[in-house]
Amino acid sequence: MTSAQVDTSGNSANSAEGSEEGYERGLGSRQVQMIAIGGAIGVGLFLGAGANIAKAGPSLILMYALAGGIIFFIMRALGELLLYRPVSGSFAEYSREFLGPFFGYFTGWTYWLMWVVTGMAELTAAAIYVNYWFPQVPQWVTALVFLVVLFGVNLISVKVFGELEFWFSMVKVTALIGMIVIGLGVLTFGFSSAGDTASVANLYQFDGFFPKGVGSSLMTLQGVMFAYLAVELVGVTAGESENPEKTLPKAINTLPWRIALFYVGALTVILCVVKWTEFAPGVSPFVAAFAKIGIPAGAGIVNFVVLTAALSSCNSGMYSTGRMLRNLADSGEAPAVFRKLSASKTPAFGITVSVLFMGIGVVLNYVVPEKAFGYVTSVATAAGIWTWLMILISHVLYRRAVDAGRLPASAFPAPGGAKCSWIAIAFLLFVTCLIAYDADSRVCLYVMAGWAAALGVGWLVLKNRNPEVAERRAPAPLEKVN
């Protein structure tokens, strides 16, 4: 397996055969930082928070903070692994190294599935957002245009992808900061039509901080975790970052303040400005807050930001799926044709196949009932939880190997060592139980069971054709680059 590696002194090294061979290290610090920031701001926050506020009231703030802490544990575990051995498609590669070939195969294909179904949902969502301004344009036309444009961007070069993602993220960040500043202005100076009722007391005076009970608040965790999907994308960029030893730790270490500002901070301000009882499922809380404040263009502004978030997610999905398919092909777990790079050093064939599957999703989402959109996002959440679990378990096993002297220590050790990873594992299993308990969301577990069965059959076929696929292989030794 080809991989760019890092020794304990921070020097990068390339093995003769690795999954990054041929990739262009075209993502600069500015782009990696903004990709990491944008990964923490998605449609789950802009739209999903409305339904969750209706279920949990102000306590949703605590749920985002709790889940955010767990996400930080996950990302620090991933960061330690990335600085031990930075590889593109890292989640599958670490599962392959520490848990065995089958887990690498299963994780790689499951992460691919996560982004394909996310792309299906986001393209349809983007088309719905455009209908806000142009209702006469058929939804499928808009979705197809976005699919083709983003496909072209991902084929050109990783630099173009990084630049587009930088500006997508910039729009989201700027909009959220603007919303927070306006909300603080309303609270402090009392201007606008919301000024008379805006108060910190709105967080507790309408049936308390947990208006519908702790149990109802905990049930929102599955939706909250969906909002955090894609924070791990910075790990996929490792093989194409100009200086992963510096950019990756910085991107991961800034995650807590991003969560505190963009999730906890934004929701706190909004719920202080507008009492929670005025929010409803299916309506963006940001749109509702701007309407209450009395900003005429508020709904249009937020609609543009949410559109940007959807396109950003789909753009990231195309990027991720192509790299993951190449990683699988390098290990003999996918057709060898996925290994080929185009003249612009992108895995063009893998991206193309993934885009075709996303295109099927556009058609499906056009003809099936509206509830299918929720089913697709729940499948993405289940696939994301599997990916996070594999990162955490791989980290626990890596720390055991380091303690035993079998592997070199990472230059970016996770605080608390494996203890925090165990806490995060327990939390993710708890969220999985919540998903199983909820009748609407448990359908994703049935889908994942079918997916697991299909991958199991595929693994048996692979082993029969090529028994070497199932053999555990040690990663190539570290080599210094002069």
10 Å CB burial of residue 210 (0-12, 13-18, 19+) is middle
10 Å CB burial of residue 29 (0-12, 13-18, 19+) is middle
Report the pLDDT value the prediction gives residue 11, as an integer from 0 to 100: 37
- Residue 14 has phi, psi (to 5 degrees) of -120, 135
Report the pLDDT value the prediction gives residue 30, as an integer from 0 to 100: 65
Instruction: Please give the full DSSP string across 17-62, using - where no structure is assigned.
Output: S-TTTT----B-HHHHHHHHHHTT--HHHHTHHHHHHHHHGGGHHH
The whole-angstrom separation of Cα 307 and Cα 338 is 31
Residue 310's identity, in one-letter code, is A
Report the Cα 122 to chain-centroid distance in Å.
13
The whole-angstrom separation of Cα 358 and Cα 118 is 9
Residue in the block written with tokens 């982004």: 115
CA 442 vs CA 225, 226, 324, 344, 420: distances in Å = 15, 14, 27, 42, 27
Residue 265 per-residue DSSP state: I
The whole-angstrom separation of Cα 187 and Cα 202 is 11
Q: In 3-state terms, the chain is what percent helix, strand and coil (to 5)?
A: 70, 0, 25
Report the Cα 91 to chain-centroid distance in Å.
13
Beta-carbon contacts of 104 under 8 Å, excluding residues fewer than 6 positions away, are: 92, 93, 95, 96, 97, 331, 333
Report the pLDDT value the prediction gives residue 176, as an integer from 0 to 100: 83
Beta-carbon contacts of 449 under 8 Å, excluding residues fewer than 6 positions away, are: none
Which phi-psi region, left, alpha or beta, contains residue 294 (left: φ > 0; alpha: ψ -120 to 50)?
left
Nearest to 115, CA basis, from 283, 336, 343, 350: 350
The whole-angstrom separation of Cα 478 and Cα 6 is 7
Per-residue pLDDT of the chain (482 residues), as tens digits, is 333 333 333 333 333 334 445 555 556 666 666 666 665 576 667 767 888 898 899 999 999 999 999 999 999 999 999 889 877 656 788 998 999 999 999 998 998 998 888 888 778 778 878 887 888 888 778 888 999 998 888 887 777 777 877 888 888 888 888 888 988 998 888 877 777 788 899 999 889 999 999 999 999 998 888 888 877 776 666 555 667 777 778 878 888 888 888 889 999 999 999 899 888 776 778 877 877 787 767 778 878 888 888 888 888 788 878 888 887 888 888 888 988 887 777 788 999 999 998 887 777 666 664 555 666 777 888 899 999 999 999 999 999 999 999 999 999 999 998 999 999 999 999 999 999 998 878 888 998 999 999 999 999 999 998 888 878 766 644 433 33
For residue 368, give the 3-state DSSP assignment.
coil
The whole-angstrom separation of Cα 234 and Cα 412 is 15
Report the Cα 44 to chain-centroid distance in Å.
10
Of 1.25.40.10, 1.20.1740.10, 3.40.50.10300, 3.30.930.10, the CATH number of 25-470 is: 1.20.1740.10
For residue 204, give the 3-state DSSP assignment.
coil
Beta-carbon contacts of 235 under 8 Å, excluding residues fewer than 6 positions away, are: 78, 82, 90, 91, 391
Nearest to 376, CA basis, from 361, 354, 355: 361
Report the pLDDT value the prediction gives residue 22, as an integer from 0 to 100: 54
Residue 471 per-residue DSSP state: S
Report the pLDDT value the prediction gives residue 19, as an integer from 0 to 100: 42
Report the pLDDT value the prediction gives residue 431, as an integer from 0 to 100: 94
CB 124 within 8 A of CB 363: no
Which phi-psi region, left, alpha or beta, contains residue 416 (left: φ > 0; alpha: ψ -120 to 50)?
left
Report the pLDDT value the prediction gives residue 8, as an integer from 0 to 100: 33
